[in-house]
Amino acid sequence: MLMPATNGLLLLPLAERQKLAGQLEQILLANLRRGDVVCKLGESQFVLLLVGMSTIQMKKMLQRIRERYRREQQQKGTDLRASILPGLPLEIA
């Protein structure tokens, strides 16, 4: 799960939170592979489905995304919070 994070994100005006989430969405779309899935979970939360990617590859991708987000947000005091949760495929038997 990815989300913009700051000490007072919820204290920011709604328009500013939406702007941060929109910027993050554009960064995600520009940096993910064809076939990866991005799902907006909440106002400023996204879930990524990265099929066939190892945990090491996921961490590298998240680092690239985080670096780009930081460059674009330079002095705004926000960063990204991320969780990596490897999943197992479910099959109908």
> What φ, ψ does residue 37 adopt, rounded to 5°?
-115, 135
19: CB partners within 8 A, 6+ apart: none
Domain boundaries, the chain: 2-79
pTM of this prediction?
0.74
pLDDT profile of the chain (93 residues), mean per 10? 55 80 90 89 82 87 88 73 74 73
How do the residues of the chain divide into helix, strand and coil, expressed in percent and rounded to 5? 45, 20, 35
**Closest listed residue to residue 79, CA positions, set 51, 44, 49:** 44
Provide the pLDDT for residue 85. 76
Any bridge partners for residue 38, and if so which?
Answer: 48
